[in-house]
Structure 1
């Protein structure tokens, strides 16, 4: 996917998130994020949007901490979220393709990284806001969901900080049932997961289903559509794969 596509998705997802949050009310509980209310969701995602925009706008070439979360609620918080989301979209759309700044996963360029990362960040949290609102969630395009699984498995969990580890080697297969070639083999061990985009070797456990559902399941927002083989491997993923802000 191209950078412009990610920015367009980021724009749409942020608008949907804000609309769902407004409809739910900032005091509503977020079922997909136990312990959170919509207030927490808006404060967190809005902080991340501003944090990301600053790297691109200011050209920071080393890590900079975020500016923290505001003590806002209700309509003021929604306005603050929408402002920061709009600033991020505008920053990414107007940035030079060769802008140099810090980023934390491999990417064709820093701009490509931030557009992709913030599109997925916002899409997952849009799902959170819609879970608080209730009703049918908005859809997720298949190619975007495939890319999101790639980012999570080949990016986030390739890092040393991944906590998905096993004493004995195990293999988890991830299979999209509605997308040709969307199969991942996740080799688990005492080291960070080793992932390849193929069907390689016999799997101890396979999780399968429509790619949009798998995307959200791997981010621990939905149950796995289907689990075959040793279900404890899927449970291990559930228990240890969470990506937290730190």
Structure 2
């Protein structure tokens, strides 16, 4: 199982609830047809429906022990998009609260088959999309806790980059390694033909990477998710290795 020591498991439940309220408020106050720049092809209404659908497919997977074939993908005739979103978030949150984080759960990461995987995954799902919808609404970005951001850096590198790309059959085209440093923590991400790996590392190991990416936790978190421009973080060393990391993450997280 992955080591989850960057954020308290209970905090992740609070994040899901708090960010869910923020999404509901944005659903009420943002034009449904407003485009979402970070998610090309999505409108505000479409992205809110997406989050509601993701909540339902996760809840169904947790209830049934395997990926469901069917779930409610759209609001029914009596529901607004906000009601569809709220109901999905409420049912998911209740399911996660009712089970201890270490209990077995069906996930798409064989290294972490636990309820904690979904607490973490859904906390970042709603946080990142809240940022997306704030941008669509023309608002300043709201608060993201440093502990949440650090955990998000860990998730995107060790789960999406290291594992999801393998599931998709994708890898790098050249050998290259990047050290990601933020908030007194370091990660080593390595890619090449047939491989993508990432792990938390010591400062000495990070120094041996071909390239370095540094910045405040929230900035690095959102940069790794493609929500901030390339110049938002400090970069040094092999810029092609950094470009490859960036490109692979866009494929992993699309």
Question: How far 1:66 sits from its partner (Å)?
Answer: 5.2
Partner of residue 137, structure 2: 133
* Structure 2 length-normalised TM: 0.84
Deviation at 1:95, TM superposition (A): 3.0
Bigger drift between 16-25 and 61-70 goes to 61-70
**Cα 1:66–1:124 shift into 2, 3 Å:** farther
Which one of 190, 195, 199 corresponds to residue 192 of structure 1? 195
What is the CA-CA distance between 1:52 and the residue it aligns to? Answer: 1.1
Aligned-partner SS, 1:87: helix
Q: How does 1:153-232 map to 2 (within 5 A)?
A: 153-159=157-163, 160-161=166-167, 165-176=171-182, 179-180=183-184, 182-198=185-201, 199=203, 200=205, 201-224=207-230, 225=232, 226-232=234-240
**CA–CA separation in structure 1 for the residues paired with 2:100 and 2:221:** 30
Given that residues 163 and 241 in structure 1 are in contact (C-alpha distance below 8 angstroms), is that contact kept between their aligned partners in structure 2? no
Aligned residue pairs, count = 238
- Gapped runs of 5+ residues in structure 1? none
SS at match of 1:27: coil
**Cα deviation 1:137-165 (Å, max 9, x = unaligned):** 11211111111111111122222136663
Equivalent residues of 2:191, 2:245 under 8 A apart: no
TM-score (norm 1): 0.86
Q: Distance in 1 between matches of 2:114 and 2:54?
A: 16
- How large is the Cα RMSD of the aligned pairs? 2.3
Q: Is the 8 A contact 2:178 2:211 kept in 1?
A: yes
CA contact under 8 A between 2:161 and 2:248: conserved in structure 1?
Answer: no
